Amino acid sequence: MDSGGSIVSRSTQERIEIKKETKETKETNETKEKKILSQSDKIKKLEEELDFYKSLFRERNNSCIFNLRIKQINGKNVWVDRVHDQREDFLQLDKDDEVTEWLRPVRCER
């Protein structure tokens, strides 16, 4: 190895430069690793979302799509059918404006 930061290949007699790892290359490697981790997190999140949408056909095959809403129970997404589900099911949902509207008694029109 030469003192100039390069080595000589014995087979081809070419001089090959050796790059020393600097702070900049360490930082770029760290940012690349962070990007890879964030991309894998995005992929996992998208796979979970895709599985949730696929579950529509397994869990709610007798419901009309336009009657279904995506609501949450303890932060987890669930399908809710406004027509088929009971009041007890609505009470388990995380509260939002639409759920509180569903829980109000319906006035009889005469």
Q: What is the dihedral of CA 80, 69, 73, 101, to 10 degrees?
A: -90
- Statement to judge: residues 47 and 80 lie in one domain: no
Is residue 13 assigned to a domain? no
- Statement to judge: residues 76 and 94 lie in one domain: yes
According to the model, what pLDDT value does residue 73 have?
Answer: 92
pLDDT values of the chain reduced to their tens digit, one per residue, 110 residues: 434 577 777 777 777 777 766 666 777 878 888 888 888 889 999 999 999 999 988 888 888 889 899 999 998 999 999 888 888 999 999 998 989 998 888 888 87
Q: For residue 37, give its domain range.
A: 19-59
According to the model, what pLDDT value does residue 51 have?
Answer: 94
Give me the number of domains the chain comprises: 2
Q: Which residues contact 40 (CB under 8 A, 6 or more apart)?
A: none
According to the model, what pLDDT value does residue 79 have?
Answer: 93
Is residue 5 assigned to a domain? no
According to the model, what pLDDT value does residue 2 have?
Answer: 39
